[in-house]
Structure 1
Amino acid sequence: MTDTAKRPVLSVENLTTSFKTAEGWRAVIRDINVEVNAGETVAIVGESGSGKSVTALSTMRLLPAGRARCEGRILLEGRDLLKASEAEMRSVRGGTIGMIFQEPMTSLNPVFTIGNQIAEALVLHRDLSWKAAEAEALRLMERVRIPAAKSRLNEYPHKFSGGMRQRVMIAMALACRPKLLIADEPTTALDVTVQAEILHLLRELQREENMGVLFITHDMGVVAEVADRTLVMFRGDMVETGPTPQIFAAPKAVYTRALLASIPRLGTMGDAAAPRRFPDVDPATGKASDGRVTSPVPGGVTPILKVEKLAVRFALPQGQIHAVEDVSFDLKPGETLALVGESGCGKSTTGRAIMRLVDPSAGSITVDGQDVAKASSGALRAMRRTSQMIFQDPFASLNPRITIGSAIAEPMLAHGLISRREAKERVAELLQQVGLSAAMADRHPHEFSGGQRQRISIARAIALQPKLIVADEAVSALDVSVKAQVSNLLLDLQEQHRLAYLFISHDMAVVERMSHRVAVMFLGEIVEIGPRAAIFDNPQHAYTRRLISAVPIPDPARRGQLNPPLNEEIKSPLRPHGYVPPKRTYREVSPGHFVQEAAA
């Protein structure tokens, strides 16, 4: 590296950021020091609430004026941004510093086309004519490998998948050739295959531009893959910083050791037939005990769920979306079947069809002997006691206007299981069962962290004592240690109540620990299904192998082992009217392990 490359692009010195409260100013991050050199990636890691994003927003001066106060120095190529005027900061944002936000759909303007939004930044910062800016916007879209970029330039954000929207955000962030890129959780909600492509893309563009990158994440596998140096934060403080290989090999801080011990790692299950709890981490030492294996599913038990030849199709003027096609499986009491695959493969639609939140187009769904697909509204209401759903976003699924005690009691009262007088005591029991205090019943959803809200959603789901729970990405957005706690809670509840879980997820490392069996979906069809060990140790379908190989390994020594990206977008499930799907055949590889045979 040359002397120029070694010079810091960004130097944050003794940064303390405070927010104004009723009691006065309260510091949320304290004495943060971090440097990012040209061509270098520095990761900031920690749980939600540790101050990662506040550090990034302070650097960009995006915190609300009058409500937030930053002290210390933020030097961008030697210039202190805390002393810059707002007009100067407007030229810095999107110009010298690019930023990729965590949720691209809320960062893109829904009423403007993608091309318009990229071109706007070019006109503002690079003084291009509108025509030249549109031509450059097209070049940028092609550079981030958006298929058919020319035809998609005039489309709106809602027509793009999550992975494509994130590529658009990268194109916008890099439009003005920034010296520094701040990437705030850019891959957290993405499927592993899309995440692998985004990481490849960022690394490639960084090399071309010799750009410094500040990468904010809670995914230690991603840190191991991309970061040269790592800063660990906990409750607003820096607890450890150093070269990434050193942080992973010999962490000094107890919190860092606990964070690394909580990481789910592929290949740690051996041939165990049942799920394995996540390790219990000792907060005093950061050491982890090996998580115990849970109970296997008893043989010869009648399935609680039976899905046969399920199809879900959505009519459009130009054809039909074949979201789910010819899907069949069963699920026994006390068993977890994981449903995995990319966004758009039909996982969530399958779960929602089982709950009759969408109507099936064909096939049958039997829950505890009752046909869900043909049930009347009254029969469906009674069946809600047997099957419940845990949604990915607990905040969106909880009513913000009512207390969590009322939210948990509501289904029990609606089904006449308890009286209002008994509700308080039952709610207290349920809260304690999911590791929360009974005193929390009078609080509203906004007063809880993401992990606590997910526990509340679990309490509400088990309130009716169901036999089946559809868990749709129930832990995917949680921090690594919270993810371990919530996953262990689900396993404990399964053992206590013999719950059956349809566990919908794209996190392959969590799936390996949580499931008895795994079904892999691609373009609405199950392409492989079998016992967990068979799927992970002997994957037969090319798509299954691609999913497993795309998981980042939390070991810097094995950096660069992600498969090179496939420069293609997942095929469209849109078919012309009158389309007849081909008849699929399956080959049995080993007992219970089936793989879809290639079409003739």
Structure 2
Amino acid sequence: MSTSLLSVKDLRVSFKGDSGWSPVVHDISFNIEAGKTVAIVGESGSGKSVTSLALMRLLQAGASRIEGEIRFDGKVLNQLPEAGMRALRGNEIAMIFQEPMTSLNPSLTIGFQLAEVLMTHRGMTRAQAEAEAVRLMERVRIPSAASRVKDYPHRLSGGMRQRVMIAMALACKPKLLIADEPTTALDVTIQAQILDLIRELQREEGMSVLFITHDMGVVAEIADETIVMLHGRIVEQGLTEEVFGKPEHPYTRALLSAVPKLGSMSGEPIPKKFEEIDRTTGLPIAKPDEAAAAQPDPAQKAVLEVVNLRKYFDIHTGIFRRVSGRVHAVENVSFDIRPGETLALVGESGCGKSTTGRAIMRLSDPTGGEIRLNGENILKLDDNGFRPHRRSMQLIFQDPFASLNPSMKVGDAIAEPMIAHGIMSGKAARERVSELLHQVGLDPSAAERFPHEFSGGQRQRIAIARALSLRPKLIVADEAVSALDVSIKAQVINLMLDLQKELGLAFLFISHDMAVVERVSHRVAVMYLGEIVEIGNRADIFGNPQHPYTKRLLSAVPVPDPARRLSRPELQVSELKSPVRPAGYVAPHKTMRQISAGHFVQEWGAEWAA
């Protein structure tokens, strides 16, 4: 007879407000056996992250109340003194948090923060801890780990910061790993490898996992048991195969039907809207099957043309800070986007897709190439000359918490671009803010609150509302929906498609979610180590991929079907190459071969033979 490592019985969590105690988690119970994985899924605000914080006793004392019993390895956690909990946290129980930028200390290097965990809980010397930190970073596939340990968090991409958090959580080989959206910021290949890593540690160490996610494909891939939460209550729980195969609750059925599935767009000529779920009832919303967007007119002039774009970052060493090398983040990238068209840019974290988006917005100065907006090369304009063009192009950032001013009310943050460009002010601006908040699924009263008062998904909707405020012609959406649960993701993408249809918006859609990319894009460009290795119409990329890297990306996409877990082909894992080059390095010319109309693939060498 197996015994549970973690047993939660009648857990209730309440928060103190002006009118007294408000319950947010209601009498939930579940067990996790040693070596098993239990997944909690549900809407943003359903109580799943609050549950995990209650288990770790990380909720603010005095403002929160935890009732019921939390038993871990024979200890009742909610009766332990704080010193006892400190000994468990990070050692026997580790947690991967949802937003790595708020979990990592911005003033300390990555290596120091990893080493600190090892010295505190495993008694290592400084030298031992630093060596182990490099090994851990290599294990989660951070390239050039020996040099990146000296980097600060802000110098890493969102996906790389999440990998650092995973390395930190796994450092002490915990008995229980609580993973709160651990793969949200990761592309599919890294996600697949992290899931494999967690499974490997389970086999080696007998580690248990509480996995909190909104990605049903990941749940099907990793979970032995699944718990579905809605409004702070468990509405369904059981073996993953049973929950997916024979869902009983209407919300579970709606949740599964709203999940984007790779291959679902076969034969569809244009992007298609997602099914939506009513967040109050948890039931699907009946919508007419209308075309989401028209096919862009090929005769129309491109709103954006990128020609041989390059972006290098200098590496300085020595006392005189000489340039000893360069990171070739973007290498000879070319593409165009027409009005009403969505071009998706996909690839691994660190491949240069976000750097490309920032260079297009002139948030970082490109090393070379041309960026033409409505036919004009904006790289030749000074700040005053470029200012009018900023209204035509807007960026939705990857990390909403880092992009919103924590001391500014969200209504002021949304109104700021309109006021700065002299479009409107006063009452008109406030009315426009209310309209935008309503469009992205938030109550207009949210304008009076601060960013920290919202969940991660809600903050991303605020960032989208701000980007829409100037009615731009081009939107660069950098992982704009990666942090959203399926119902809000559907609402936001449907909104973006409606705006595209109505206003002829062009989108550069940067994403690692291949199922979403297949649903919303007209064309797809695949990036690897700063270069586009394949570009073409969506049907060609997903139906007839040519480059080995494109095939690897598609094979790594988790399928929301537990029955296919064991039949899935093993992912071919290769070391992620470093984009660092010597200071005088000149990239060789790469040939693009045409496969069909609009479908081009880069010629590849022996490094892809296998």
Is TM more than 0.5 here?
A: yes
**Cα drift, residue 71 of structure 1:** 1.3
Q: Which moved more, 1:175-184 or 1:218-227?
A: 175-184
Task: Check conservation: 2:408, 2:450, Cα contact below 8 A.
Answer: yes
Q: What CA deviation, in whole Å up to 9, does each residue of 1:238-274 have, x standing for no partner?
A: 1111111111112122222222122111100012221
- AA aligned to 1:252 is E
Question: Which SS does the other structure have where 2:276 is aligned?
Answer: coil
| Counterpart position of 1:33 | 29
| Counterpart position of 1:220 | 216
- Over 3 Å counting, the alpha-carbon distance change for 1:289 and 1:418 in structure 2 is closer
How far apart, CA to CA, are the structure 1 residues paired with 2:208 and 2:248?
26
- AA aligned to 2:386 is L
| Counterpart position of 1:309 | 308
Task: Check conservation: 1:121, 1:175, Cα contact below 8 A.
Answer: yes
**Cα drift, residue 179 of structure 1:** 2.8
Task: Check conservation: 1:40, 1:211, Cα contact below 8 A.
Answer: yes
| Counterpart position of 2:266 | 270
Question: 1:341 pairs with 320, 327, 347, which one?
Answer: 347
| Counterpart position of 1:184 | 180
Question: Which SS does the other structure have where 1:470 is aligned?
Answer: strand
Percent identity, aligned pairs only? 62
How far apart, CA to CA, are the structure 2 residues paired with 1:510 and 1:123?
42
| Counterpart position of 2:80 | 84
Q: Which moved more, 1:511-520 or 1:464-473?
A: 464-473
- Over 3 Å counting, the alpha-carbon distance change for 1:495 and 1:28 in structure 2 is same
How far apart, CA to CA, are the structure 2 residues paired with 1:442 and 1:176?
43
How far apart, CA to CA, are the structure 1 residues paired with 2:15 and 2:220?
33
How far apart, CA to CA, are the structure 1 residues paired with 2:355 and 2:182?
25
Question: 2:58 pairs with 40, 59, 62, which one?
Answer: 62
How far apart, CA to CA, are the structure 1 residues paired with 2:401 and 2:173?
37
Question: 1:96 pairs with 92, 96, 99, which one?
Answer: 92
Task: Check conservation: 2:337, 2:343, Cα contact below 8 A.
Answer: yes
RMSD: 3.0
Structure 1 residue 590 corresponds to structure 2 residue 563: no
Q: Which moved more, 1:485-494 or 1:96-105?
A: 96-105
- Over 3 Å counting, the alpha-carbon distance change for 1:512 and 1:142 in structure 2 is closer
| Counterpart position of 1:234 | 230
For structure 1, the 5+ residue unaligned runs are: none
**Cα drift, residue 126 of structure 1:** 5.3
- AA aligned to 1:59 is L
- Over 3 Å counting, the alpha-carbon distance change for 1:485 and 1:229 in structure 2 is same
**Cα drift, residue 12 of structure 1:** 0.6
Question: Which SS does the other structure have where 1:343 is aligned?
Answer: coil
Question: 1:210 pairs with 193, 206, 210, which one?
Answer: 206
| Counterpart position of 1:482 | 488
Question: Which SS does the other structure have where 1:91 is aligned?
Answer: helix
| Counterpart position of 2:297 | 298
Q: Which moved more, 1:253-262 or 1:397-406?
A: 397-406
How far apart, CA to CA, are the structure 2 residues paired with 1:271 and 1:542?
24
**Cα drift, residue 98 of structure 1:** 2.9
Task: Check conservation: 2:70, 2:76, Cα contact below 8 A.
Answer: yes
Q: Which moved more, 1:454-463 or 1:212-221?
A: 454-463
Q: Which moved more, 1:286-295 or 1:507-516?
A: 286-295
Structure 1 residue 555 corresponds to structure 2 residue 554: no
Task: Check conservation: 1:13, 1:72, Cα contact below 8 A.
Answer: yes
- Over 3 Å counting, the alpha-carbon distance change for 1:166 and 1:472 in structure 2 is closer
Task: Check conservation: 1:147, 1:568, Cα contact below 8 A.
Answer: no
How far apart, CA to CA, are the structure 2 residues paired with 1:177 and 1:403?
41
| Counterpart position of 1:244 | 240
Question: 1:24 pairs with 20, 31, 40, which one?
Answer: 20
| Counterpart position of 1:391 | 397
For structure 2, the 5+ residue unaligned runs are: 316-322
| 1:373-452 map, 5 Å | 373-418=379-424, 420=426, 422-436=428-442, 440-452=446-458
Question: Which SS does the other structure have where 1:520 is aligned?
Answer: strand
**Cα drift, residue 534 of structure 1:** 0.4
**Cα drift, residue 399 of structure 1:** 3.5
- Over 3 Å counting, the alpha-carbon distance change for 1:289 and 1:263 in structure 2 is farther
Q: How many residues align?
A: 595
Question: Which SS does the other structure have where 1:266 is aligned?
Answer: coil
Question: Which SS does the other structure have where 2:380 is aligned?
Answer: coil
- Over 3 Å counting, the alpha-carbon distance change for 1:177 and 1:400 in structure 2 is closer
Question: Which SS does the other structure have where 2:379 is aligned?
Answer: coil
Question: Which SS does the other structure have where 1:230 is aligned?
Answer: strand
- Over 3 Å counting, the alpha-carbon distance change for 1:408 and 1:94 in structure 2 is closer
Q: What CA deviation, in whole Å up to 9, does each residue of 1:539-593 have, x standing for no partner?
A: 1011111111111111111114555355544222221122111111111111110
How far apart, CA to CA, are the structure 1 residues paired with 2:551 and 2:43?
31
- Over 3 Å counting, the alpha-carbon distance change for 1:178 and 1:357 in structure 2 is closer
Q: Which moved more, 1:382-391 or 1:33-42?
A: 382-391
- Over 3 Å counting, the alpha-carbon distance change for 1:571 and 1:44 in structure 2 is same
Q: Which moved more, 1:293-302 or 1:26-35?
A: 293-302
How far apart, CA to CA, are the structure 2 residues paired with 1:442 and 1:90?
36
Structure 1 residue 7 corresponds to structure 2 residue 6: no
| Counterpart position of 1:199 | 195
Task: Check conservation: 1:344, 1:523, Cα contact below 8 A.
Answer: yes
How far apart, CA to CA, are the structure 2 residues paired with 1:497 and 1:280?
22
Question: 1:577 pairs with 580, 583, 586, which one?
Answer: 583
How far apart, CA to CA, are the structure 1 residues paired with 2:22 and 2:331?
54
Task: Check conservation: 2:277, 2:487, Cα contact below 8 A.
Answer: no
| Counterpart position of 1:46 | 42
**Cα drift, residue 64 of structure 1:** 2.7
How far apart, CA to CA, are the structure 1 residues paired with 2:481 and 2:458?
12
- AA aligned to 1:296 is Q
**Cα drift, residue 299 of structure 1:** 3.2
Q: Which moved more, 1:183-192 or 1:523-532?
A: 183-192
Question: Which SS does the other structure have where 1:50 is aligned?
Answer: coil
| Counterpart position of 1:353 | 359
Q: Which moved more, 1:471-480 or 1:165-174?
A: 165-174
How far apart, CA to CA, are the structure 1 residues paired with 2:367 and 2:151?
29
How far apart, CA to CA, are the structure 1 residues paired with 2:480 and 2:209?
30
How far apart, CA to CA, are the structure 2 residues paired with 1:415 and 1:525?
35
**Cα drift, residue 406 of structure 1:** 3.6
**Cα drift, residue 216 of structure 1:** 1.5
Task: Check conservation: 2:144, 2:578, Cα contact below 8 A.
Answer: no
- AA aligned to 1:312 is K
- AA aligned to 2:86 is R
- Over 3 Å counting, the alpha-carbon distance change for 1:340 and 1:252 in structure 2 is same
- AA aligned to 2:295 is P
Task: Check conservation: 1:550, 1:563, Cα contact below 8 A.
Answer: no
Structure 1 residue 510 corresponds to structure 2 residue 516: yes
- Over 3 Å counting, the alpha-carbon distance change for 1:581 and 1:161 in structure 2 is same
**Cα drift, residue 402 of structure 1:** 4.1
**Cα drift, residue 153 of structure 1:** 9.9
| Counterpart position of 2:337 | 331
Question: Which SS does the other structure have where 1:318 is aligned?
Answer: strand
Question: Which SS does the other structure have where 1:373 is aligned?
Answer: helix
Question: Which SS does the other structure have where 1:547 is aligned?
Answer: helix
- Over 3 Å counting, the alpha-carbon distance change for 1:127 and 1:351 in structure 2 is closer
**Cα drift, residue 203 of structure 1:** 0.3
Structure 1 residue 461 corresponds to structure 2 residue 460: no
Task: Check conservation: 1:338, 1:504, Cα contact below 8 A.
Answer: yes
- Over 3 Å counting, the alpha-carbon distance change for 1:291 and 1:343 in structure 2 is farther
How far apart, CA to CA, are the structure 1 residues paired with 2:120 and 2:164?
18
Structure 1 residue 532 corresponds to structure 2 residue 538: yes
**Cα drift, residue 315 of structure 1:** 2.3
**Cα drift, residue 114 of structure 1:** 6.0
- Over 3 Å counting, the alpha-carbon distance change for 1:315 and 1:247 in structure 2 is same
- Over 3 Å counting, the alpha-carbon distance change for 1:22 and 1:594 in structure 2 is same
